[in-house]
A and B are shown apart, each in its own frame.
Chain A
């Protein structure tokens, strides 16, 4: 029974638990067993909370036995990205500087997950402080892509994407600052959604870039992602930037989309600037096939141009480092986390510098230095200030494009998963992974990545973008596309994943 449970979707598991056909404890145990069997190869988890998971599952079973009406995901296991604060559970954000930190509080989304009866299996690996696109920047070693253990699982939420693709968990939470949910989803053949900025509370997400960070769901199906999205989303008075409006009805949209046999009347915009030179041929081919699938469903395909998207990479790599240089200043060895060099002779200033030097990895240091530079007096206007103006121009490009199309599409990433170590010494080669995902990050608009085929035997993602607050549109079109893919001769992408030994 256990092996079957790990292959099920979250929706299926929830139905079985709610119907009393399987105990939540069994489900949790099956996934813990799967983790024990494969995570040594995959290394998706930094911390597995066996006791906590089983206790949470038991509580769901007890509640059900007592006749309590369960939430739609009660008893379903979940993998939590380690950037999300979890009370009394290790939370490192993939950094040495937070090794051993057990937070005295829960993030809002952690609280929501617990309140929904979702069973948290543990914390997943990530690029340090979410800076990276490969999970190689983790202080605790890389995560491996279950499609090919020699390749990266994407990043920064690579532990979460790998856990879901490797059937270690049906659901996972990631965070996306410049593509850190969508790109890992794409390169591991699963679904990942970056919500509208402000749709999901940031309270308790260890901040990388405050004006860009947004948590979102991973699932193996669009519906699963939607079910998790609805648990996570909603106004939070603890986050000043949280949108005080009802969350988008994404579950209804996903269900409706899956039933659609036609996308007639839906205008799909292909963004001219997100393709072409520099994109892998297999990715381009897969994307073009996806566009044809959408056309085949009756969608009207239009080409749109967003000229300022060309500046997204430059703007992003100014804004994110600037904000992170300030957000990461608090890691100084005074109140929590690592302290190095406190020998009684060194001054506080020395101890802070030695601690930060020892606690941060190379990519974090690079970004902190760039951000420190970009915010310096005399450079602010030319860099951070100008980058914020570019955001306006990108948002205007989106606005114009959405006047002509209901959703926009692009490849999620220009590349399929590359080999571990291939790009680690070349920051710019790493940064271009985010080319397609950055515009929606900078505009704060929602975007989903849904598997759309294989290239070189590795998964390719289709990115579907919608206007702010219209997350449901992403899910609706993605669900229709997913259904069409499943019905096609090639079938669902994830069905091709090789077995892990």
Chain B
């Protein structure tokens, strides 16, 4: 089915529900650590295991982070609100209710402006509320999936980690750009969350998760029945999920069928969505105010102080990039297409020259992201780390080749730049005698090339430089090597 053809006949309406694990040190209602990747069930206690008698006490930092998110999304902050219990049975939920918020969210009625193909789309924010995460089930059996599993194993380390849910209003009128708007929204939201420093927003680790709502309607008609697509675990998947759901629903409607309101699951491998096994009956969550917690009534002065202390947000940073750093409109567009504007901005504001920042993100890092099939912002390296790499090159500690090795190390290990540099012994070889010896060896091993250079074909020296760089495992300054080679071949200066 042809996408353009579908869009010519139907209007899509999208909506997004994003779950963000906050980067607090301890869980939402108890003091257990939120560290990712710990041994199973080692970060659990009476409270987050829901042992009989245990009671929750709310983490103040989580409340603060949620308010910061609300403020950054132009929301009103509730003067008084409560947690509520969402009751349903599921084994990853220790109490068989989730402590969440229902009709009294902490933040309401905001918006987020996103840029898509040169125009601004305002995405309304319905609500931002705070809840707790669930544990994790592993399905054991030949399939390794829930269907056909013999049994399941539950790890409650994640249970009780503070989770912020950000729900948009339905976004109509985006036409063919619906998938791009969805992706741009999540990208921008992620940039904001990263800027606020409230979460590490790693989609691959599940600290940012997206549910995408999609519906189609005939032009001028009422909105259609929406589906909710879960398991959307990367920025690219957000876009693919919306597109695939638009195509699927169009096919259903074209065939005279009706779209069923249901939960679907995005399939990373095929790029389409599959229907989840529906429950035997519609779930009634039986919400009621959580009697074990007291209401939240944020002091207006506190909220105001949080508002004043908000860091510069990505949109403002982009303006500054353009107006103060002199980045051209063409460059901005190119960076925007590659999804690196904010990364370049943050790298720049972390001290790197804008040109260098741009080159790294559009060059080597874009290439690495491409190799991994992820967006540059999904790479496990922060703009601050990139800025540090640039700084080390500028100060001569690293050559560009070594800098790339340092970046590789960060991407592979998750360690910090300086740690990688130290561990791998990365530093420019500035021992002239050693370089001269390596140059002589390269000349001796490549007499033909040496002759060409001596004969005036200066560009041929590149091959010799490469040989020296290989011999020194990249730890030499290529410019210095080139000069040494030219000198020794009698064509220097």
Asked whether the complex places CB atoms of A and B closer than 8 A, the reply is yes
Binding site for B on A (CB under 8 A): 84-85, 91, 93, 98, 101, 103-105, 107, 202-207, 209-211, 237-241, 322-323, 325-326, 329-332, 334-336, 348-349, 352, 372, 375-377, 380, 384
Judging by beta carbons under 8 Å apart, are B53 and A377 in contact? no
Judging by beta carbons under 8 Å apart, are B87 and A326 in contact? yes
Known: A207-B53, A335-B49, A348-B91. A326 touches B293 (CB 8 A): no
> How does the 8 Å CB contact mask read for B281-296 relative to A, with 1 for contact and 0 for none?
0001111100111100
* Shortest CB distance A332–B (Å): 6
Residues of A within 8 Å of B285, CB to CB, are 377
Known: A240-B57, A330-B94. A93 touches B52 (CB 8 A): yes
**B50 — nearest CB in chain A belongs to which residue?**
A330
> Nearest 9 A-B pairs (CB), nearest first?
A329-B96, A375-B286, A210-B291, A211-B291, A85-B53, A204-B53, A206-B52, A330-B50, A330-B95
Residues of B within 8 Å of A323, CB to CB, are 288, 291
Residues of B within 8 Å of A377, CB to CB, are 284-286
A-contacting residues, B146-188, CB 8 Å: 152, 154, 156
Complex Cα gap A330–B90 (Å): 10
Known: A375-B87, A377-B284, A377-B286. A104 touches B46 (CB 8 A): yes
A-contacting residues, B77-118, CB 8 Å: 85, 87, 89, 91, 94-97
Complex Cα gap A44–B92 (Å): 38
Asked if B55 is at the interface (CB within 8 A of a chain A CB), the reply is: yes
Complex Cα gap A50–B48 (Å): 33
**B87 — nearest CB in chain A belongs to which residue?**
A326
Complex Cα gap A331–B94 (Å): 9
* Shortest CB distance A90–B (Å): 12
Contact size range, B: 20 to 34
**A92 — nearest CB in chain B belongs to which residue?**
B52
Asked if B462 is at the interface (CB within 8 A of a chain A CB), the reply is: no
Judging by beta carbons under 8 Å apart, are A98 and B293 in contact? no
Asked if B409 is at the interface (CB within 8 A of a chain A CB), the reply is: no
* Shortest CB distance B159–A (Å): 10
Judging by beta carbons under 8 Å apart, are A326 and B288 in contact? yes
Residues of B within 8 Å of A240, CB to CB, are 55-58, 292-294
Judging by beta carbons under 8 Å apart, are B95 and A105 in contact? no
Complex Cα gap A380–B152 (Å): 35
* Shortest CB distance B198–A (Å): 23
**A206 — nearest CB in chain B belongs to which residue?**
B52
Residues of B within 8 Å of A85, CB to CB, are 51-53
Complex Cα gap A349–B279 (Å): 11
With a 10 A CB-CB cut-off, give which of B45, B95, B97, B291 has the most chain A CB atoms.
B291
* Shortest CB distance B233–A (Å): 25
Chain A to chain B contacts (Cβ below 8 Å), 28 pairs: A84-B53, A91-B52, A93-B52, A98-B52, A103-B46, A103-B51, A104-B51, A107-B53, A203-B53, A204-B54, A207-B53, A209-B291, A210-B292, A211-B291, A239-B57, A322-B288, A323-B291, A326-B85, A326-B97, A329-B96, A330-B52, A330-B95, A332-B89, A332-B96, A349-B89, A376-B284, A377-B285, A377-B286
Complex Cα gap A23–B89 (Å): 52
Q: Is the contact region of chain B dominated by helix, strand, or loop, or is it mixed? A: loop
**B290 — nearest CB in chain A belongs to which residue?**
A210
Judging by beta carbons under 8 Å apart, are B53 and A329 in contact? no
Known: A240-B292, A330-B96. A203 touches B58 (CB 8 A): no
Residues of A within 8 Å of B94, CB to CB, are 330, 335
Residues of A within 8 Å of B293, CB to CB, are 240-241
**B294 — nearest CB in chain A belongs to which residue?**
A240
Residues of A within 8 Å of B56, CB to CB, are 240
* Shortest CB distance B54–A (Å): 7
Residues of B within 8 Å of A98, CB to CB, are 52
* Shortest CB distance A245–B (Å): 14
**A85 — nearest CB in chain B belongs to which residue?**
B53
> How does the 8 Å CB contact mask read for B50-70 relative to A, with 1 for contact and 0 for none?
111111111000000000000
Complex Cα gap A94–B400 (Å): 71
Judging by beta carbons under 8 Å apart, are A352 and B89 in contact? yes
Partner of B288 from A205, A348, A380 at Cβ < 8 Å: A380
Residues of A within 8 Å of B53, CB to CB, are 84-85, 103, 107, 203-207
Residues of A within 8 Å of B87, CB to CB, are 325-326, 329, 375
> How does the 8 Å CB contact mask read for B409-451 relative to A, with 1 for contact and 0 for none?
0000000000000000000000000000000000000000000
Judging by beta carbons under 8 Å apart, are B51 and A105 in contact? yes
**B52 — nearest CB in chain A belongs to which residue?**
A206
Judging by beta carbons under 8 Å apart, are A329 and B51 in contact? no
Judging by beta carbons under 8 Å apart, are B95 and A384 in contact? no
Residues of B within 8 Å of A203, CB to CB, are 53-55
Judging by beta carbons under 8 Å apart, are A241 and B294 in contact? yes
Partner of A334 from B54, B91, B284 at Cβ < 8 Å: B91
Given A239-B57, A330-B96, 19 more A-B residue pairs with CB atoms under 8 Å apart are A84-B53, A98-B52, A203-B53, A205-B53, A207-B52, A209-B291, A240-B57, A240-B294, A241-B293, A325-B286, A326-B87, A326-B286, A329-B89, A329-B97, A330-B52, A331-B52, A332-B96, A372-B286, A377-B285
Residues of A within 8 Å of B57, CB to CB, are 237-240
Complex Cα gap A386–B469 (Å): 80
Complex Cα gap A209–B292 (Å): 10
**A323 — nearest CB in chain B belongs to which residue?**
B291
* Shortest CB distance A399–B (Å): 21
Residues of A within 8 Å of B96, CB to CB, are 329-330, 332
Residues of B within 8 Å of A84, CB to CB, are 53
Complex Cα gap A210–B284 (Å): 21
Complex Cα gap A93–B50 (Å): 16
* Shortest CB distance A386–B (Å): 13
**A241 — nearest CB in chain B belongs to which residue?**
B294
**A211 — nearest CB in chain B belongs to which residue?**
B291
Judging by beta carbons under 8 Å apart, are B55 and A376 in contact? no
Residues of A within 8 Å of B46, CB to CB, are 103-105
Complex Cα gap A348–B91 (Å): 8
Residues of B within 8 Å of A207, CB to CB, are 52-53, 292
**A333 — nearest CB in chain B belongs to which residue?**
B91
Judging by beta carbons under 8 Å apart, are A103 and B95 in contact? no
* Shortest CB distance A339–B (Å): 12
Judging by beta carbons under 8 Å apart, are A335 and B294 in contact? no
Complex Cα gap A376–B54 (Å): 25
Complex Cα gap A238–B50 (Å): 14
Residues of A within 8 Å of B294, CB to CB, are 240-241
**A198 — nearest CB in chain B belongs to which residue?**
B294
Judging by beta carbons under 8 Å apart, are B50 and A335 in contact? yes
* Shortest CB distance A102–B (Å): 11
Residues of A within 8 Å of B292, CB to CB, are 207, 210, 240-241
* Shortest CB distance A412–B (Å): 26
Residues of B within 8 Å of A322, CB to CB, are 288
Complex Cα gap A203–B53 (Å): 6
Residues of A within 8 Å of B50, CB to CB, are 330, 335
Residues of A within 8 Å of B55, CB to CB, are 202-203, 238-240
**B88 — nearest CB in chain A belongs to which residue?**
A329
Judging by beta carbons under 8 Å apart, are B291 and A332 in contact? no
Residues of A within 8 Å of B91, CB to CB, are 332, 334, 348
Complex Cα gap A21–B412 (Å): 73
Residues of B within 8 Å of A375, CB to CB, are 87, 286-288
Complex Cα gap A348–B287 (Å): 24
With a 10 A CB-CB cut-off, give which of B152, B284, B293 has the most chain A CB atoms.
B284
* Shortest CB distance B177–A (Å): 36
* Shortest CB distance A345–B (Å): 11
With a 10 A CB-CB cut-off, give which of A210, A211, A335 has the most chain B CB atoms.
A335
A-contacting residues, B34-54, CB 8 Å: 45-46, 49-54
**A84 — nearest CB in chain B belongs to which residue?**
B53
Complex Cα gap A7–B56 (Å): 41
Complex Cα gap A332–B50 (Å): 11
* Shortest CB distance B160–A (Å): 13
> How does the 8 Å CB contact mask read for B14-52 relative to A, with 1 for contact and 0 for none?
000000000000000000000000000000011001111
Known: A85-B52, A105-B51, A206-B53. A348 touches B291 (CB 8 A): no
* Shortest CB distance A244–B (Å): 11
Residues of B within 8 Å of A103, CB to CB, are 46, 51-53
